[in-house]
Structure 1
Amino acid sequence: MTDVSISLSKPIEHEGKTVTSMTFHEASLGDLAVTDAAAGGVAKTILLLAALSGQTEELVRKIKAVDLDAILEKVEPLTGNFFKANG
């Protein structure tokens, strides 16, 4: 599977830069393991999206909720059964 890029409907301002799109790679076990410390589903999603995009958790927290569905639709196939298993 290849990387997927997603254009954000709401740009993110982070550290003096404007982020208009994000690219995510196929998950490794290491990427999935970073979510182990998180207690809730949203927290796990934030940590996983940060790992898959190579971006910071702080940047990923700025993604608008309206963009999350589009991101998850494209990213879910890259994560095996992660989202089904972790709700």
Structure 2
Amino acid sequence: MTETVTVALSKPLANGDATITELTFREPTVGDLIVGDQMTGQLAKMTAILAAISDTPLPVFKKIGAKDFSKIVSKTGGLLGNDKTNNTTGD
């Protein structure tokens, strides 16, 4: 079973004719990590990987507000191997 994390956006995104109100992230593949590695700078790498693992075009993903981005980074830490603590509160 593949683990996924869904994050609701406080500000919806436009992707062509579609409106995105939430994004679902999956565990990254090596290919996703390579896409991120092609970017310069930590923020650019993280953004490229998160866009890839949510199947969101990078130009659309870049329009996410800073508050939503912070929430995404926090909630996807486990998928990216960045869990700092074991969360037992269910958050």
Short-chain TM bin = 0.7 to 0.9
Aligned-residue Cα RMSD (Å) equals 1.3
In structure 1, list runs of 5 or more residues that go unmatched: 82-87
How many aligned positions are there? 81
Listed as ranges, the matches of 1:20-39 within 5 Å are 20-39=21-40
Percent of aligned positions that are identical = 38
Q: Name the structure with the higher helix share.
A: 1
Where does structure 2 lack aligned partners over 5 or more consecutive residues?
A: 83-91
SS in 2 for 1:48: helix
- Cα distance in 1 for partners of 2:7, 2:79 equals 14
After TM superposition, the runs of 4+ consecutive aligned structure 1 residues lying more than 6 A away are none
d(CA) in 2 for partners of 1:45 and 1:62? 14
- Aligned counterparts of 1:37 and 1:26: Cα–Cα separation in 2: 19
Larger Rg over CA atoms: 2
- TM-score, normalised by the number of residues in structure 2: 0.81
**Scaled by the length of structure 1, what TM-score is found?**
0.84
